[in-house]
């Protein structure tokens, strides 16, 4: 009870501290017809390098005020940041250090390993008529769905949806949708085996 009360107070204080930054980010979004996120990225980078528990509280507070949705009950590790506001973080999500999250939905109790990258889909850049790669456009953002109880290993790169209870091996590259409760690994990621309920839930219990 005391621990919950202290956490609630610290969350409130953290939101007060980051509130001016969040307001500027919201104003940028409202005033920019191209949905600019320059201030959001700038402040996100600042929050990412804040150390220790204070940094963890301030990062979470900043993203609860700027993302489409971010739970008060999650952890966003040192060096980690979101590149777009079009992201959702549900309860008890754990994001390790130096992870990069784009436009994504992170279901309850996901574990996102250190240095993992979740991209905003597979079509952020396309070839134009002259064979040149086009610049980034917010119109091509796709929200990648990481279902609940998913474990994404360290250094994995994800640009497709991952089904509930699945595990993505460290260093894997996922470009096709992953079914629920399977282990995928490799570059490109390949099916390794199906996971039973105990195997699929064990990474969450260990956290």
pLDDT, tens digit, 9 for 90 and up, residues 58-80: 999 999 999 999 999 999 999 99
Query: Whole-prediction pTM value?
Result: 0.88
Give the residue from 66, 85, 107 where a domain finishes: 66
Count of beta carbons in the 10 Å neighbourhood of residue 126: 10
How many domains does the chain divide into?
2
Domain harbouring 92, CATH code: 2.160.10.10
* Contact indicator for 178, 189 with CB cutoff of 8 Å: yes
Average pLDDT, the chain: 90
Q: What is the pLDDT of residue 199?
A: 53
Same domain, 199 and 107: yes
Q: How confident is the model at residue 206 (pLDDT cuts 50, 70, 90)?
A: very low
Edge to edge, the sheet with strand 190-194 lists 75-76, 94-95, 111-112, 151-152, 167-168, 182-185, 190-194
Alpha carbon 75 to chain centroid, angstroms: 11
- pLDDT tens digits, one per residue of 99-123: 999 999 999 999 999 999 999 987 7
Helix (H) or strand (E) run with residue 206 in it:
helix 197-206
Do 55 and 127 belong to one domain?
A: no
Q: Are residues 99 and 199 in the same domain?
A: yes
Q: Which domain holds residue 10?
A: 1-66
**Are 108 and 47 found together in one domain?**
no
Torsion on CA atoms 31, 33, 35, 36, rounded to nearest 10: -70
Mean pLDDT value of segment 5-10 = 90
Percent of the chain with pLDDT over 70: 93
Q: What is the pLDDT of residue 125?
A: 75
Is the confidence at residue 183, as pLDDT, over 80?
Answer: yes
CA 41 to chain centre: 14
Which of 66, 93, 117 is a domain's end point? 66
Are 120 and 56 in the same domain?
Answer: no
Residues 56 and 89 in one domain: no
């Amino acid at each position: 009870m005391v621990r919950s009360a202290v956490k609630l107070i610290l969350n409130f204080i953290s939101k007060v501290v980051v509130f001016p930054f969040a307001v500027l980010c919201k104003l940028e979004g409202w005033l920019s017809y191209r949905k600019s996120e320059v201030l959001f990225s700038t402040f996100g980078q600042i929050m990412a390098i804040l150390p220790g528990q204070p940094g963890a509280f301030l990062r979470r507070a900043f993203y609860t005020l700027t993302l489409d949705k971010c739970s008060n009950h999650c952890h966003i590790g040192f060096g980690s940041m979101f590149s777009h506001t079009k992201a959702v973080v549900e309860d008890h999500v754990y994001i390790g250090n130096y992870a990069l999250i784009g436009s994504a939905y992170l279901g309850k109790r996901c574990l996102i390993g250190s240095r993992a990258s979740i991209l905003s889909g597979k079509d952020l850049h396309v070839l134009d008529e002259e064979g040149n790669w086009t610049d980034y456009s917010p119109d091509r953002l796709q929200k990648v769905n990481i279902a609940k109880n998913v474990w994404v290993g360290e250094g994995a790169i994800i640009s497709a949806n991952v089904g509930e209870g699945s595990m993505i091996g460290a260093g894997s590259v996922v470009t096709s949708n992953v079914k629920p409760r399977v282990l995928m690994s490799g570059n490109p990621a390949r099916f390794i085996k199906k996971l039973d309920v105990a195997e699929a839930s064990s990474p969450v219990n260990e956290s």
